[in-house]
Structure formats: structure tokens, C-alpha cells
């Protein structure tokens, strides 16, 4: 067992893109499990776009000079409760650290399916996949044959949305991404019909080029200009699923998107946002839907895996600038 533990703290509030200077690795003695709890050695860490929003001074955001939180999978290495056995693999939210002291109420036991790797529980079977699944089935209420546009389609939620939409019988599936290479990957590997690089021109023109007949559903991870373009492209009774606003996390002074608000009324458009934490009851349904497809090979994992906890900040910063394809996961030692 290691004799020390590492924890990542946020040391300052960023304005625009964060840098490595906004974080510090803090070393401490290996913690002891409390009575009724257990010590977990973390194995896999999730870094997510929402962490950037939590770096700001917002309700529920990260406190300065304190351990950060995040989705994590770890192994119990010492226990003072019969409810958590040593060697057990658990999911919890005390990420951004090598070790965590947890109670049984703070962890979730992961169902183990032969042939499904642990990383899937941070990706398509975790919060990322649950976000995509809830967005399609509960918010958009996707119907077979409907056409979708997904922004930030090469990210964790974007790739999961594309793959799930295909399995749910979507019609034409188009997306946006940050490079031509990502666009090619999405059309060749993920199942998108067409993807544009949003750097190539006005979003409305680019969207019209890949979806000249319009769209029924927009799954929005970005906001900004792409949201405005999608409102214009939506057909009657179209739906906008608001998941994130990546375009504004690091550009707080950017003007809000401008679109014709009359479109919302005249086309009977519904726009709805949601927090995945309010839909935990759908988790088992996600397993029932996704696991058979994972085992059959119809559903693949889209992951960018970074080795070593020492690189967690680098992985997070790279993800914010589009350096990932699919879900970003940091892997410790097995």
C-alpha cells in the first residue's frame, strides 16, 4: 500500500480558459478509514466539461484550496464496516485524488457484466451515457426516423448520443466538431451521416449544408451560434435538448446567441434543459438498453484514456480545448 496520498485542489478562479496554474497537487499521509467506513484506492477518474463551470464562483461550485470532486471508480483497500468488503470495486464522487475515505451511503456498487470494462461505467454506462440516454428518451422523446443535429458531437456525450440515436432508429444524424479529423471519425466510426467543422464558417450555413431539409431534434452541448442556427433549422414541433454551454464556459464575455424568437412560437418548438442527477431512476433502464449492445458489438466505447493520476489536470485542460474524442478517462494502476 502506498504511504502517501495525492489530492488536487483548485487554487484560483479562472477568467477564460483555466491553466495548470489554477491547480495544485497536495500530498498527505494515507488516510485511515473511519469507523463505519472504508478507504478506497481510486483506479479511474472522469474529467468532464461541467467541472469547468464548477471552477467559477457559482452555487455548488468548487471551493478553493479544498479537494475537488468528480466521478471515480476505486477498489476498497481497508474497511471498518461489513458493508464494504476489501477488494470490492465501487463508484463514488470523491475524485481528483488517489485515495478517498467513504461510507457505504456514499458509494454505488457496480453491476459486473462479463466482457464490459470498468471504464464503461464512467462513459456510456455512467453519467455521460445517462445524459445522452435521458436527453434522447425523456427530453427529446425521440421517435423513429426523426432527424437529429448534435453539437460537440465528438465529445463524450456527443458520441454516446450519436450511437444511442442510431440504435433507437433515428433518421439522418448530423453533428458539429472541432476538426476535419474528428468529423471523419464521427462519420466513419460512430454512425453520423455528416459532420461539419464549426471553424469553417457561419454555423447556420454549415448546418444548412449537412441538413438542407431541416432537423427534428437538436441536442445542444455548446450553446452560442450553433444554438441559434439550430432554432432556424428546426421543423414544426422541433425540440431542443439543452445539455451544456461549452462555448460560454471559457468565454464569459461572449454575447448570448441571437435567433428569431418568433420561431419558437410559429414552429411550436420546445426547448428544455435538464440535470442528469435528477434522472437517476433511469440508470437501470440504461443498463438494460446498452449492455446487450455492448456485448454484441453494436455499441462501441468512445474513449480517450490518459495514463497516470499525475496527468489528470493535463487531461482536463486538453479536453476543454477539444483534445479528446469521446469520453476522457484518467487511468491509474490496475
Identify the burial level of 54 via C-beta atoms within 10 angstroms of its C-beta, where 0-12 means exposed, 13-18 middle and 19 or more buried.
middle
Q: Average pLDDT, stretch 60-75?
A: 96
Confidence label for 1 from pLDDT (cuts 50, 70 and 90): very low
DSSP 40: E
Q: pLDDT per residue over 231-244, tens digit each?
A: 999 999 999 999 98
Residue 104 CB: number of other CB atoms within 10 A? 15
Q: pLDDT per residue over 193-231, tens digit each?
A: 999 999 999 999 999 999 999 999 999 999 999 999 999
Q: What are the backbone dihedrals phi and psi of residue 326, each rounded to the nearest 5 degrees, phi first?
A: 80, -155
Residues pairing with 24 in the sheet: 9
Written as nine digits, the cell of 176 is 458539429
Please, what is the average pLDDT of the chain?
95
Of residues 36, 121, 119, 122, the one with CA closest to residue 79: 36
Q: pLDDT per residue over 79-126, tens digit each?
A: 999 999 999 999 999 999 999 999 999 999 999 999 999 999 999 999
Helix (H) or strand (E) holding 177: strand 173-177
| Sign of the CA dihedral with 52 first, then 53, 57, and 60 last | negative
pLDDT of res. 171: 98
Residue 248 CB: number of other CB atoms within 10 A? 17
Confidence label for 334 from pLDDT (cuts 50, 70 and 90): low
pLDDT of res. 261: 87
Mean pLDDT is lowest, of 78-92, 181-195, 245-259, 291-305, for: 245-259
pLDDT of res. 229: 97
Q: pLDDT per residue over 134-171, tens digit each?
A: 999 999 999 999 999 999 999 999 999 999 999 999 99
Contact of 85 with 76, CB cutoff 8 Å: yes
Confidence label for 245 from pLDDT (cuts 50, 70 and 90): confident
Amino acid at each position: 500500500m502506498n504511504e502517501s496520498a495525492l489530492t488536487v485542489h483548485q487554487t484560483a478562479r479562472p477568467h477564460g480558459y483555466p491553466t495548470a496554474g489554477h491547480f495544485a497537487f497536495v500530498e498527505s499521509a494515507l488516510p485511515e478509514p473511519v469507523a463505519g467506513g472504508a478507504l478506497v484506492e481510486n483506479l479511474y477518474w472522469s474529467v468532464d466539461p461541467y467541472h469547468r463551470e464548477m471552477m467559477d464562483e457559482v452555487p455548488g461550485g468548487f471551493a478553493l484550496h479544498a479537494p475537488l470532486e468528480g466521478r471515480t471508480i476505486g477498489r476498497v483497500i481497508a474497511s471498518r464496516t461489513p458493508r464494504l468488503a476489501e477488494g470490492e470495486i465501487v463508484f463514488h464522487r470523491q475524485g481528483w485524488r488517489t485515495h478517498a475515505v467513504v461510507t457505504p451511503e456514499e458509494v454505488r456498487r457496480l453491476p459486473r457484466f462479463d466482457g464490459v470494462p470498468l471504464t464503461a461505467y464512467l462513459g456510456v454506462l455512467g453519467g455521460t451515457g445517462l445524459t445522452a440516454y435521458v436527453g434522447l428518451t425523456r427530453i427529446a422523446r425521440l421517435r423513429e426516423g426523426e432527424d437529429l443535429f448534435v453539437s460537440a458531437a465528438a465529445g463524450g456525450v456527443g458520441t454516446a448520443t450519436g450511437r444511442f440515436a442510431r440504435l433507437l432508429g433515428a433518421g439522418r444524424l448530423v453533428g458539429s466538431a472541432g476538426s476535419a479529423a474528428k468529423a471523419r471519425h464521427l462519420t466513419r466510426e460512430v454512425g453520423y451521416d455528416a459532420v461539419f467543422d464549426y471553424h469553417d464558417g457561419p454555423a447556420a450555413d454549415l448546418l444548412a449544408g449537412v441538413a438542407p431539409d431541416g432537423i427534428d431534434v437538436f441536442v445542444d452541448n455548446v450553446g452560442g451560434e450553433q444554438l441559434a442556427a439550430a432554432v432556424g433549422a428546426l421543423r414544426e414541433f422541433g425540440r431542443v435538448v439543452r445539455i451544456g454551454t461549452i462555448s460560454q464556459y471559457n468565454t464569459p464575455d461572449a454575447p448570448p446567441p441571437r435567433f428569431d424568437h418568433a420561431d419558437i412560437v410559429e414552429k411550436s418548438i420546445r426547448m428544455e434543459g435538464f440535470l442528469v442527477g435528477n434522472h437517476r431512476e433511469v440508470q437501470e433502464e440504461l443498463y438494460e438498453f446498452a449492455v446487450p449492445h455492448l456485448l454484441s458489438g453494436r455499441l462501441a466505447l468512445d474513449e480517450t484514456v490518459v495514463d497516470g493520476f499525475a496527468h489528470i489536470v493535463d487531461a482536463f485542460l486538453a479536453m476543454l480545448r477539444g483534445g479528446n474524442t469521446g469520453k476522457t478517462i484518467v487511468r491509474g494502476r490496475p
